């Protein structure tokens, strides 16, 4: 006669002992069913919390109190910083941007030795002068150079379609559109 192969729950799961075994046998519908609690050393090796080492958080720049002051970490007081651009700075930037971009070659060693003048920043202009200069130099839009249109895939025009089947005497607020 062949031996019957059955999974034995007592091999891999804990089972109660003493009073709690008698209590479980009296209460449970099927006392032969597994408790579901795995035996510690069977399924996971090494078992959890069995290693002798302790975890240590690696030291970083943020963990050094001297390099990580509170005011740098306090996001509640991270107010936006104001940026001020004067009209003369704005006019200079506008004029530089309007001109064709060109790269100035660095001075050679001979020019540096004889004390050749180094190109300096442009003098400041009045903002109205800068705007009129740029506007006179080129027109932003003309009949040949139109502004860009907003993107649209299709030009959809709604058209009334026939209504879906419904009772002619019933209230039917839906309008079909194609």
Q: What is the pTM of this model?
A: 0.29
In the chain, the percentage of residues whose pLDDT exceeds 90 is 6
What would the mean pLDDT of 30-41 be, rounded to a whole number? 80
Nearest to 133, CA basis, from 144, 122, 143: 122
For residue 118, what pLDDT is reported?
A: 57
What are the angstrom distances between the C-alpha of 113 and each of 106, 109, 118, 120, 121?
13, 6, 12, 18, 22
Give the residue extent of every domain in the chain. Answer: 7-29+38-50
What are the angstrom distances between the C-alpha of 159 and each of 50, 62, 163, 165, 177?
74, 64, 12, 18, 6
In the chain, the percentage of residues whose pLDDT exceeds 70 is 85
For residue 116, what pLDDT is reported?
A: 60
Residue 130, pLDDT > 80, answer yes
């Amino acid at each position: 006669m062949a031996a019957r192969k059955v999974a034995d729950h007592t091999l891999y799961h804990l089972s109660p002992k003493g009073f709690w075994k008698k209590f479980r046998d009296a209460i449970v519908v099927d006392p032969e069913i597994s408790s579901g609690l795995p035996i510690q050393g069977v399924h996971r090796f090494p078992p959890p919390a069995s290693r002798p080492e302790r975890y240590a958080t690696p030291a970083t720049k943020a963990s050094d109190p001297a390099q990580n002051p509170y005011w740098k970490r306090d996001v509640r007081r991270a107010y936006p910083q104001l940026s001020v651009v004067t009209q003369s700075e704005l006019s200079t930037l506008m004029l530089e941007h309007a001109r064709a971009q060109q790269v100035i070659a660095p001075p050679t060693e001979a020019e540096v030795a004889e004390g050749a003048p180094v190109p300096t920043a442009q003098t400041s202009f009045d903002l109205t002068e800068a705007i009129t200069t740029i506007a006179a130099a080129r027109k932003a839009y003309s009949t040949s150079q139109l502004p860009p249109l907003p993107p649209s895939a299709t030009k959809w025009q709604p058209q009334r379609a026939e209504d879906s089947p419904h009772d002619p005497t019933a209230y039917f607020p839906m309008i079909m559109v194609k």
